[in-house]
Amino acid sequence: MALPTSLPSDPHMLYSVINMKLRDQYPDLAALCDDLAIDPAELRQVLGDAGYSYDPATNRFI
């Protein structure tokens, strides 16, 4: 499964968009992934490869 084309393909831009959505619209990563039909493991992998990891305590990638 690929990430939706509506999301940036550049991992650093993706990081910014995902964190903005987590901050403004979603209580956690599971809700964001469910709503946007994103595989959470794939999102974590793409952002992880760029050096980011999800922190559930702050509900953002760091």
pTM: 0.94
How confident is residue 2, by pLDDT bands cut at 50, 70 and 90?
confident
Cβ-defined contacts of 52-59 (< 8 Å, 24+): 52/11, 52/15, 54/29, 56/28, 56/29, 59/22, 59/23, 59/26, 59/27, 59/28, 59/29
> Within a domain: residue 29?
yes
CA distance 37 to 17: 15
Contact 43, 33 (CB under 8 A): yes
Taking only the tens place, the pLDDT of each residue in 9-30 is 999 999 999 999 999 999 999 9
Across all residues in the chain, what is the average pLDDT?
96
Q: How confident is the model at residue 1 (pLDDT cuts 50, 70, 90)?
A: low
36 lies in a domain?
yes
* 50 falls within a domain: yes
Asked whether residue 57 is assigned to any structural domain, the reply reads yes
Assigned domain for 3 exists? no
Per-residue pLDDT, 43: 97
In the chain, the number of structural domains is: 1
